């Protein structure tokens, strides 16, 4: 038997602001956090600094982004 765990997101955690992408094609870029896709476990971001400036990738995995302390 398999027990499923439902993850809930609280509003304060959705206000990440500026994040850094730490893995994948956009590695090392700073981005603005736009939203979250809970069905696919992905985040939506807009690249603000780096080679891919102003791009909005389709999906970035949760574990690939980190909050920046400014």
Q: For the whole model, what pTM was predicted? A: 0.70
CA angle 14, 27, 45 (to 5 degrees): 30
Query: Cα(52)–Cα(8) distance, rounded to whole angstroms?
Result: 31
pLDDT the model gives residue 17: 82
Domain boundaries of the chain, sorted by first residue: 11-67
> Is 6's pLDDT higher than 80?
no
Q: How many CB atoms lie within 10 A of CB 28?
A: 11
pLDDT the model gives residue 53: 92
> Is 4's pLDDT higher than 70?
no
Structure tokens at 25: 């094609």
> Is 55's pLDDT higher than 70?
yes
- Third-level CATH fold of 11-67: SH3 type barrels. (2.30.30)
């Amino acid at each position: 038997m398999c027990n499923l765990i439902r993850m809930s997101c609280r509003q304060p955690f959705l206000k990440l602001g500026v994040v850094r992408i730490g893995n994948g094609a956009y590695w090392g870029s700073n981005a603005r956090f736009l939203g979250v896709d809970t069905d696919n476990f992905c985040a939506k971001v807009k690249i603000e600094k780096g080679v891919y400036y102003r791009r909005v990738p389709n999906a970035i995995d949760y574990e690939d982004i980190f909050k920046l302390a400014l």
